[in-house]
Every structure is written in C-alpha cells, then in structure tokens.
Amino acid sequence: MQCLCLSIDADEWNDRTELLSLCEFGTVPNFEENLRRENQSMRLTVMMRAAEGMNDYRKIRKKAYQLRLRPADTLARHWKSRAFIERATREAHANHRVVVSHHGCVREAMRAGTEADVLSAAYTSDCSDLLENVDLWVYGHTHESRDFTVGRTRIVSNSKGYGPWKPGEASDNPIFDPNYVIEI
C-alpha cells in the first residue's frame, strides 16, 4: 500500500527544517472573508490578539533561539504550507494521502464554543479547498478529540493538550486516548 504523509514536527522551528515545517499552518490563516489578504486591518487585529494571548508567541523561538516567533512568521508559513500541500497532494501517486498539521483545516475543527471568537483563526484554518485530494487530515492545536468527515476526507484530532500538572489532575482533554489508532 502506498501512502503519502505530509507531517511537521512543531518543536522544530528553524531554518534547517524548512521542508518539514512547510506543513505547519500559520497562526493567522485566511479564515473567513475578514481575514483574507486584502483585509489587513482585521488581520492585524487578530495577529495582535494572538501575540498577546497565545503561549506559542512566548515560548517558541527561531533563528537558533535568538528571536521569538511572531504571528507574521506563522502567516508567511501558512501561505507556503497551503501551496506545498496543494501541490504535493495533487501530484502524489499514492493510494492514500494523509496530511498531519498542527492547526485544524476546516471551520468544523474549531473548538466547540469558540466559533465567534476572533482568536479562533489562530487555531483553525479554512483549508476546505485543499481537501479534494486528501483522504485523512490529522490535526491537534485545539486540545480536543474529534473524528468527522468533510466531503470524502476524514478529519481527526486526538490531542492531549496541557497537563496534568499535578497527580490526579486531568489534562485539557479529558477524553484524550493515548492508544488511539487510525486505520487507513
């Protein structure tokens, strides 16, 4: 069985891992009309909210840990990632095409209850136009477990999230399954 799998190690964000990092979705994606490239005011608002409120921009470093990751970095990476995934899944001669990304790929992947929050664009991208040649898309940034289908594409998340910090505490995702297996 042939399978094309596009993946990213989110812990490795440096110039030496450019090829792998191309599958990382930008933290300020083109989600909904108000975040499209031509609406710079809304995009800047979301980028400021993301920079202020997300651990990613306090913890992740680049350029050999000299610089802090910024929303503009992940936005640029988003556009490269979209192009790469579109090209790779279209040109692949595999029986199954699997994409593994940090961020969700469709609106339905947003964490329940956050649909109206502008910061949701920092967790989920509208990549529904990329699903045509994808059999399975796995993501994790929302810290919840999901398994659903959009069109012919199965979309799955089983991310643990933060914690537990102390014995007896639960992680962000109380239904996380460390033994979860996906069959293709």
Q: Is the pLDDT of residue 88 over 90?
A: yes
Give me the mean pLDDT over the 152-171 stretch. 90
Question: What are the tens digits of pLDDT across the range 108-132?
Answer: 998 888 877 878 878 888 899 999 9
141 touches 105 (CB < 8 A): no
Q: Give the lowest-confidence range in 1-15, 103-117, 150-164.
A: 1-15
Q: Which of 119, 100, 168, 113 is nearest to 144 (CA)?
A: 113
DSSP 8-state assignment for residue 49: H
Confidence of residue 11 (pLDDT cuts 50, 70, 90): very low
CA distance linking residue 75 with residue 68, whole number of Å: 15
| Axis-axis angle for helices 40-53, 71-91 (nearest 10) | 110
Q: Which residues contact 11 (CB under 8 A, 6 or more apart)?
A: none
What is the reported pTM? 0.76
